[in-house]
Structure 1
Amino acid sequence: MSDEAFVRLQDAIISGELPPGERLRDYELAERLGTSKTPIRHALDRLADNGLVEMQRNRYTRVAPIDLNRVRNAVDLFGDIWIGSVRHVLPVIQDDDVSYLVELADDMATAVNSRDVIGFGAALRGAATGFARIEGNAARATVIERLGPQIRRFSQHSKDVFDWAAVGDVVASIRDALEERDAVKIRAVLVTLFDEVLPSIIDRAEAEGLAGTTAE
């Protein structure tokens, strides 16, 4: 039950159904989700570990504000992990692995074409995790999964300033490099994505006040 509560609350926070600053009362959440307070408390502890809620001792729990510095750090680490997988995977990659990764790149392209920011975030996470799985590195996959909610929540709140043209160019280049099995090109494209494209979206969101606000 705590796993189900965690997933449902995480999804509500990422989507904005539970906005930054929203007070979270365990008895209200238990009634809303049709469970007891114990699974809710366990779920809130996990959400706090992931930086999605803030727990004030002897006071209250609330949805955490979007911390742009934390988002920047998550983007940096996400990129480092993915690039690290590329170094290990490309020298030994097999035909079926290439086909699998190209399909994941196509999922990203589909999300870009439909301007589906949540779909793009899920596809991006899927592609990075795909490399980690081929590498056989469960630790990388675990960290990617942990970083995902912070990035997805930011993306949902900042979708109005998302640079779809730049992101689309990167996705097309990733697909081409995969088909060419060109590790140097893939790493270069990922550096562009994580050092330039995504940070510029974060900067634009900050400048326009589209993230980092809290509800009173």
Structure 2
Amino acid sequence: MPIPTDSDCRIPRILLRDGVYLRLRDAIVDGTLAPGEQLRDAELAVWLGVSRTPVREALLRLGQVGLVHARPGRSTTVAPLDPVAVRDAGAVVAAMHRLAVADAVGRLTDDDLAAMREANRRFAAALDAGDADAALAADDDFHAVPVRVAGNEAAAMVLEQYSPVLRRLERLRFSSSSASTSVARHTRLVDLCADGDADRAAEVVHEIWESLGPLVETLTTETAVPPLEEEAR
């Protein structure tokens, strides 16, 4: 679809680099920028109200996490939902969350557990309202707590790299009627963390992320675009 012409997406300069990246990432996740769409840094810069430099930096980061395909000197396009890439990223993300939860249990404070419960409450409310974007944000907040408490910087870096690959798939799940099962899984996870059962809590969080697996199988050619080699023909 064409680049939107509204000016509501302008980025505060204090958050310029990360803000541009997050805004473009979210635009890809929510479908504003569709698979196969060509991304021109000049147009994106006008849309976001920034210079071309942070846009180019953001596109490089998005390429590193697999959300865009870039061919130097030719074109940059939104990447399709690639089942193989999503499956591989899902396995890595599930393993990192499992590691983080196993390390965090026993160190989670009452405030941490309360934050997870509050995030799950917002998550449930967003699902009830049919607001997939709010559900994504609340889900991020929920899982961020044990990752932060675990303090494993390597795991956090891996999650930062590979989690964006899953966001479009998560959005599909949170837009479906089956998403309500995630609320119960979240509740179970918090209860196990509160009980100090690190092994079972780690298993449950792994199950949460592995539950994206069946959705991968639903990806069809409708979510894909022709190979990049075909674009110039």
Q: Per the shorter chain, which TM-score range?
A: 0.7 to 0.9
**2:44 counterpart residue number:** 29
**1:166 counterpart residue number:** 181
State the identity as a percent. 31
**1:117 counterpart residue number:** 132
Letter in 2 for 1:212: T
C-alpha deviations, 1:74-120, integer Å up to 9, x for none? 22222111111222222344333333333333343334444433333
Runs (4+) of structure 1 exceeding 4 A deviation are 157-162
> Cα distance, 1:165 vs. partner?
4.1
Please, which of 216, 219, 223 is the counterpart of residue 212 of structure 1?
223
Please, which of 23, 37, 48 is the counterpart of residue 8 of structure 1?
23
Matched ranges for 1:197-208 at <5 A: 197-203=211-217, 205-206=218-219
**SS in structure 1 at match of 2:149:** helix
CA distance in 1, matches of 2:196, 2:183: 20
Please, which of 73, 77, 96 is the counterpart of residue 62 of structure 1?
77
CA distance in 2, matches of 1:127, 1:44: 27
Please, which of 98, 114, 127 is the counterpart of residue 113 of structure 2?
98
> Cα distance, 1:64 vs. partner?
0.9
TM-aligned CA distance change 1:9 to 1:211, over 3 Å: same
> Cα distance, 1:149 vs. partner?
2.0
Q: Is the 8 A contact 1:101 1:178 kept in 2?
A: no
Q: Report the more deviating stretch, 46-55 or 178-187.
A: 178-187
Matched ranges for 1:190-201 at <5 A: 190-195=205-210, 197-201=211-215
Letter in 2 for 1:147: Y
**2:11 counterpart residue number:** none
TM-aligned CA distance change 1:121 to 1:71, over 3 Å: farther
Q: Is the 8 A contact 1:66 1:212 kept in 2?
A: yes
The two structures have a TM-score, normalised by structure 2, of: 0.77
Matched ranges for 1:176-187 at <5 A: 176-187=191-202
Q: Is the 8 A contact 1:6 1:47 kept in 2?
A: yes
C-alpha deviations, 1:180-202, integer Å up to 9, x for none? 3322332232233233x221122
TM-aligned CA distance change 1:97 to 1:26, over 3 Å: closer
**Which runs of 5 or more residues in structure 1 are unaligned?**
none
Q: Is the 8 A contact 2:135 2:174 kept in 1?
A: no
**Which runs of 5 or more residues in structure 2 are unaligned?**
1-15
> Cα distance, 1:61 vs. partner?
1.0
> Cα distance, 1:160 vs. partner?
5.3
C-alpha deviations, 1:140-196, integer Å up to 9, x for none? 23332333322112233565556224323322322332343322332232233233x
Letter in 2 for 1:13: I
Letter in 2 for 1:30: A
**SS in structure 1 at match of 2:112:** helix
Letter in 1 for 2:213: P
User: Per residue, is there more helix in 1 or in 2?
Assistant: 1
**2:68 counterpart residue number:** 53
